[in-house]
Each structure stands twice: as C-alpha cells, then as structure tokens.
Chains A and B, each alone.
Chain A
C-alpha cells in the first residue's frame, strides 16, 4: 500500500518546505487571533500564513512584543504593534483567541500530549520540561502539534504524563474540560494528521510527497486510521516557495529541523 496518487512527484519543494506549508495551513481561516508557533518550522509556517492566506494573524517576537511586520526568522521586527508580556499571554489563552502549535515528546491516538517526563512521574527515567502551559492551552484555545521526527517513541499507545489534553480525557472530565477543547492538526515530517474519526482518534490526512503509508504506519506506535484514499500534502505555489526561501527563512534553518 502506498499513497494513492503515485504519479505525484516531490517536485522542487523539500520535505521541510512541505512541513512549513502544512503548518501554515493549520492557521488558514483562523481570522484575527494570535498564532503561537513553537519550533522553527511552525514559526516559518505561521509567518507564511500571515503573508499569504491569513493576513489578520497576530504574531509575537517570541517574547513580549506583538509584531506588525513579518521579519525573517531570527531578524528583529521593524514595527511593533502591541505588548504581550507573559501574564497577558496567559490571559489571552483563556479568551480562546489563539491557536498554538506545540511540540510533543509523546502523543497518543486521542491527542494526549506529554512534554513533562518519560517514565514514572515520581522519579522519571528522563525528566523533560514540565507541563508548561499545555493544560491551559488545550482546554482553552485551538491546539496543534508539530513533531519533526515521526517515530514510535513519540507516537505511543499511552503517554507517560498527560500535559496536553486529548479527546478521550476531555470527554471523560465533563463539559468544563471539553467546552473549549479543540485539537486541530498534528504535523510531522511524514505527513498531516487530524482527529476526524467517530471516536476522535488520529487519522492520516495527507502524506508529504515521497512518503508511503507503510512508512507512517511503521513509525506510529498505535492503530492509526488510514483512509482508502490518502492525498499528498499540497504543492506550494511558486510565491509560497519564494516567501519561504527568500523572505522568511533565507538561512535555511528549516533544514536543521527537517533534514532533506
């Protein structure tokens, strides 16, 4: 079994560029909300979305400023349009006017995510960051995930600690938990995933060109829903490629996160 459209070629875009495009799509039609990308590829994606199909997005400089222009990754903004220190950022999360794309050290088929620790929480085998804002994010505003290296170590049957809340847990905890809970996209170096199944479990939505369904299934540690016809992630337009390569990421930092 392989991607259904076997005639599609990888074209001229690199894998990292398909990933950028897939991340940008997460913010399509999002309107006038804050895009909070975590990681280099999502950051390029958010900026691409703002420069093309989602011009009303708010972006930050990664610290306390809202930026009015779209500088290259690592460059200073020319125009600051607002102030968003941490305490206001935490408040903004609860207004829902934000779509965050977080990383995940582990994620399961319901979208439960872990960035805290691996192993037994009481004395972990590997201590990671801690829950950070994953609980507040997932219960309040749309949340997507970016996973630069798709593997069975990340896509696991059960996460060791639920930081970001998945569909099963949100439903079980009742209306206050599920009211504003919305998991959108999971994007990896292999493809794009969502939760559009009756049980709200992870489904393969598209393969990046050059990737097969077998590869994805082998790199996923749980039963993934694979539709009969799996499309490829769409091709970037010439203008999108130009924006990525010349305006947003001229230093090619995307290739460090997703090697070709």
Chain B
C-alpha cells in the first residue's frame, strides 16, 4: 500500500490510535499523509509526540486521549501546547498506565479493566465519566474501571515487516504498537523495509516479531518514515530537525514557511526537503 491508500481507508470522525511513544518511532509518514487528506474530526489515542502536534496544528483533532504529549529531548510539544491553550480540542487526560489498560481491555474485548491509578487524582475530576468498581472479594477494594479504548483504526511504524503484515521491531522497546493494532478494527503498519518472510528472522529472534498478520490490514514501506522521531536501530531522532520544527511552531509566519517547505508535497518531497535541510545545516 501507499500512505495515501491507507488514509483512503480512514474516515472523518474515526477514533484512530497512533503507536510509538513521545518522539519515538511514530508513524510520521502516515501522519503526514493524514495532513494532506481532508479527513477531520478525529479522536486520537496516543502516547503523544509530534504526531499529536502536527494533527493539532492542522485542526484535525476533535478529541485527544492521552497521558502526555512531549518531544522527549524538548519536553513540551509547541503545537499541542498552543492547541490546548486555545481550547482547540476536547481532552481525555489519563494516566499512562490507564491508557495501557484501556487498550488492553479493548484487546481482550472487555468493557473495562480495574486499576489503582487515577484514584484521588484529578484524572477522576477532569473525566467525570470515569467510574470506580468495588472488588467482589473480601478486600472490597474500590478501584478505577478504565473503559476499553476501542479504536476504528491503528497506525504504527516498525523497522521491518513482510507483505502479509508480520511486523518486527529491532529497537530496545516495542512501546505499545501490538496493543494499538489488536485494539483496532483495522491496523496499518508502515515500516522501514518490507522483506520476504524468511528474511525476518535472519539476524534476530522470534520475540522481535511484534505484530501478527491476523491483526494487520495493510503494510506500507516508508523508508525514514518515522522521521523526525527515532527509529532505533535504523536511525536516531533527528534532533536538528526537531529543533527547527519547534522553532517554526512557535511563530505563525515561520510555521507557514515550514509548512510550505516540508509539508506541501508528498512523502518523497518531504524526504528531499529534509535532505536539503541537512545539506544547508552541514
């Protein structure tokens, strides 16, 4: 598939989960394709990074479900900050373990999961629909019932995949990409390189095979497709570019220039513009 074909399968108003974590292994090529589309009114579930920032800046988000949004080496995501400060979308702010258990409940086809986290915090206050549940056993503990975070679609980026949707991560952390895919009615995987199935385990063990093809509906080869987030061991975060992104995001005129330069063409144009950016910086 192409990124455009993936986005062609999505619809406005959908609940879309985005894999990765902060500014790490985000499916940025697919996010860029979303930016080029006329999709809108999205509910986004994400351990937020620049995916959230870019979609917020483009006015694509109606509701965001997250525990944080960060660029890691730069703590605050400027577009997320600006969007929140102008009240641009509805926020469901959950603890990061609550997001994991919400996705897990959806994977298990359960309505909720009991969890201690959230009790006594303002997560309960700002989410008045959250309910607690009392243990039926002798302890009678009262715990938070985190509702299932069922997704219409999931977008994730991995290091390798075959054309059938068997997906492989080669870095130190799988993040929660398998949960996102299994919690979704349809999951789309971009990867650095599509390989033949026998190639997947040439250099590493079966535990690197994070995604099973039964839970993947489309595979896209997008080299450098997590840029500017990290995609270890294929590449690290592009810190220089991320700094340029943040600088531009803080000023409307600079952001217009950034958009014109990097986000007005297709993925090939983006990658060419990034290469030119680095030639200039060198």
Tally of contact residues, B, Cβ under 8 A: 41
- Give A134 to B95 CA distance when docked, in angstroms: 7
Query: Which one of A63, A117, A129, A140 has the greatest number of beta carbons of chain B within 10 Å?
Result: A129
Given known contacts A117-B84, A176-B141, A176-B143, A130 and B48 CB-to-CB distance under 8 angstroms: yes
In the assembled complex, which residues on chain A have CB atoms less than 8 Å from the CB atom of B70?
A: 129-130
Q: Report if A162 contacts B (CB, 8 A).
A: yes
Name the residue in A135, A162, A172 with the highest tally of chain B Cβ atoms < 10 Å from its Cβ: A135
Q: Decide: A87 and B174 in contact? CB cutoff 8 A.
A: yes
Please give the residue numbers on chain A whose beta carbons come within 8 Å of chain B beta carbons, in ascending order.
63-65, 83, 85-87, 90, 93-94, 116-117, 121-136, 138-140, 161-165, 169-170, 172-177, 179-181
Measured between C-beta atoms, what is the minimum distance from A21 to chain B in Å? 26
Contact of B95 among A63, A83, A136 (CB under 8 A): A136
Assess whether B121 is in contact with A131, with CB atoms less than 8 Å apart: yes
Given contacts A130-B48, A177-B119, contact A85 B175 (CB under 8 A): yes
Binds A, one of B74-82, B220-228, B256-264: B74-82
Q: Is B159 an interface residue (CB 8 A)?
A: no
Contact present for A135 and B80 (CB under 8 Å): no
Per a CB cutoff under 8 Å, which of A85, A116, A123, A140 touches B87?
A123
**Within the assembled complex, what's the spacing in Å between the Cα atoms of A105 and B69?**
16
Q: Which residues of A contact B121 (CB under 8 A)?
A: 131, 134-135, 138, 162-165, 169
Q: Is the CB of B85 within 8 A of A135?
A: no
The 9 A-B residue pairs with the shortest CB-CB distance, nearest first, are A136-B117, A130-B68, A173-B120, A64-B172, A127-B84, A135-B95, A123-B87, A177-B119, A136-B97
**Chain A residues within an 8 Å CB radius of B39:** none
| B55-88 interface code vs A (CB 8 A; 1 in, 0 out) | 0000000000011111000011000110011110
Instruction: Decide: B97 and A129 in contact? CB cutoff 8 A.
Output: no
Residue among A93, A125, A164 with the most chain B CB within 10 A? A93
> CB of B118 within 8 A of chain A?
yes
Contact B96 A123 (CB under 8 A): no
Q: Are A116 and B172 in contact (CB under 8 A)?
A: no
Question: What is the CA–CA distance of A218 and B98 in the complex, to the nearest angstrom?
Answer: 38
CA distance A85 to B81 in the complex (A): 27
Candidates B48, B81, B85, B117; contact of A139 at CB < 8 Å: B117
Query: Closest Cβ of chain A: how far from B83's Cβ, in Å?
Result: 8
Q: Determine whether the beta carbon of B119 is less than 8 Å from that of A116.
A: no
The closest CB in chain A to the CB of B85 belongs to A127
In the complex, chain A residues whose CB is within 8 Å of the CB of B100: 87, 90
**Can you give 27 contacting A-B residue pairs, CB < 8 Å?**
A64-B172, A86-B176, A90-B96, A90-B100, A116-B122, A122-B87, A124-B84, A127-B80, A127-B81, A129-B68, A129-B75, A130-B48, A131-B68, A131-B122, A131-B123, A135-B117, A135-B118, A136-B97, A139-B116, A162-B122, A164-B121, A165-B120, A165-B121, A173-B120, A174-B142, A177-B116, A179-B141
A128 contacts across to B, CB distance below 8 A: 76
Our pick among A64, A123, A140, A177 for the contact of B120 (Cβ within 8 Å) is A177
A163 to B48 alpha-carbon distance, docked (Å): 17
Verify A133–B97 contact, CB threshold 8 A.
yes
Tell me the complex Cα distance, A177–B116, Å: 7
CB contacts (< 8 Å) of A65 on chain B: these are 172
| B117 close to A85 (CB less than 8 A) | no
Contacts A85-B173, A124-B85, A130-B69: A140 and B116 contacting too (C-beta < 8 A)? yes
Determine if B80 and A131 form an interchain contact, defined as CB atoms under 8 angstroms apart.
no
- The answer to the question of B231 belonging to the interface, with a C-beta cut-off of 8 Å to chain A, is no
Interface flag for B21 (CB, 8 Å):
yes
- The answer to whether B69 touches A140 (Cβ under 8 A) is no
Pick from A90, A129, A180: contact of B76, CB under 8 Å: A129
Residues of A within 8 A of B85 (CB): 123-127
Task: Give the CA-CA distance A128 to B115 in the complex, in Å.
Answer: 25
Give the residues in chain A near B148, CB-CB below 8 Å.
none
| Given A131-B67, A176-B142, A161 and B122 contact (CB-CB distance below 8 Å) | yes
Report the minimal beta-carbon distance from B12 to chain A, rounded to whole angstroms. 24
Is the C-beta of B93 less than 8 angstroms from some C-beta in chain A?
yes
